Amino acid sequence: MFTINHECGVCANTANFQLSTVGRFVGIAGEKSQRDEQFPGETPDGALIRGFGVSHCPHCGIPSLFHFRVTNENFRRIQENLNTSGLLFNQNNYLTEVESFPKKFEPSVHTSWPDEIKREFTEAQKLFRQGVSPTFILFACRQALDVSTRGLGATKGSLKARIDSLRERGIITSAVADWAHHVRVIANESVHESGGSIEDAEECLEFVKTFLTMTFTVPEEIARKRSLIPAN
Ligand SMILES: [Zn+2]
């Protein structure tokens, strides 16, 4: 068998994807004649060719298509080993992955967010993609909210006290503070009772994104636009 270590574009789990089919292709129009001219007879072993492979994610079962560059010799070895029980060692070294479909999961983050917040919120979104228990997603959202309040200068007391402090200082509106408390309570209950629904998790993700947009993205955008206005 031949496997590729890969992060699934659907569920975001990293696993060894066992290829069930491989083939070679000539790619964009015009390249065929070019290749035929280059290799009029048998393709040399060391020649780089384009290959593709089909596999299923071991976690979610959804098929993925890989497009790779590989030497002619390695392509032949992959083909020969496809239906054997033996493993080809160091498999990612046999080829260079060019693209895969579905494409790799790209988290929704903004450049204005501090790195720690980006990391926490990426983790929460990834857990949602992976389809884990809502408790873990809610906990990750709570973490992202927790780190965000500190990033906004509310460093003292519980998360509840820090949300109130941001409202008192006019950094967030009362409506946002109320929503933040709602999310905080759902996340706390979920962690303590190992409950929470996928709808709760979805709402928390949506909230954290809105919260970060209002507190980091919009102020940065306003500052940027104002800096473009010439001073009198
Ligand atoms: Zn998957």
Distance from Cα 100 to the centre of ligand 1, integer Å: 13
Q: Give the distance (Å) from ligand 1 centre to CA of residue 130.
A: 8
Q: What is the pLDDT of residue 195?
A: 76
- Residue 113 DSSP SS3: coil
CA of 53 to the centre of ligand 1 (A): 16
The CA 105 to ligand 1 mean position distance, Å, reads: 11
- Sketch the domain layout of the chain as residue ranges: 3-101, 115-227
pLDDT number for residue 33: 46
Domain boundaries 115-227, corresponding CATH code: 1.20.120
Report which secondary-structure segment, H or E, holds 70.
strand 63-71
CA of 12 to the centre of ligand 1 (A): 6
Global confidence as pTM = 0.72
Distance 80 CA to ligand 1 centre (A): 26
What distance in angstroms lies between residue 155's CA and the mean position of ligand 1's atoms? Answer: 39
> Which of these, 81, 104, 83, lies nearest to 91 by C-alpha position?
81
Q: Report how far ligand 1's centroid is from the alpha carbon of 96 (Å).
A: 21
CA of 2 to the centre of ligand 1 (A): 18
CA 90 / ligand 1 centre spacing (Å): 22
Q: How far apart are CA 168 and CA 152, in angstroms?
A: 13
| 103 Cα: distance to centroid of ligand 1 (angstroms) | 11
The pLDDT of residue 17:
92
Q: Separation of 33 CA from ligand 1 center, angstroms?
A: 37
Q: Are 47 and 72 in contact (CB under 8 A)?
A: yes
d(CA 141, CA 120): 8
CA dihedral 192, 194, 198, 202 (to 10 degrees): 30
User: What's the CA-to-centroid distance between 113 and ligand 1, angstroms?
Assistant: 28
Question: Alpha-carbon distance 213 to 191, whole Å?
Answer: 26
Q: Write the pLDDT tens digit of every residue in 87-145.
A: 765 667 889 989 999 998 889 999 999 999 999 999 999 999 888 899 999 999 999 99
Ligand 1 centroid distance, CA of 14 (Å): 8
Average pLDDT along the chain, 232 residues, taken 10 residues at a time: 90 91 73 51 80 94 93 90 75 85 92 94 92 91 94 93 96 94 91 84 94 94 92 72
Ligand 1 centre to CA of 47 (Å) is: 33
Strands (E), 57-108: 63-71, 95-101
Percentage of the chain modeled with pLDDT above 70:
91
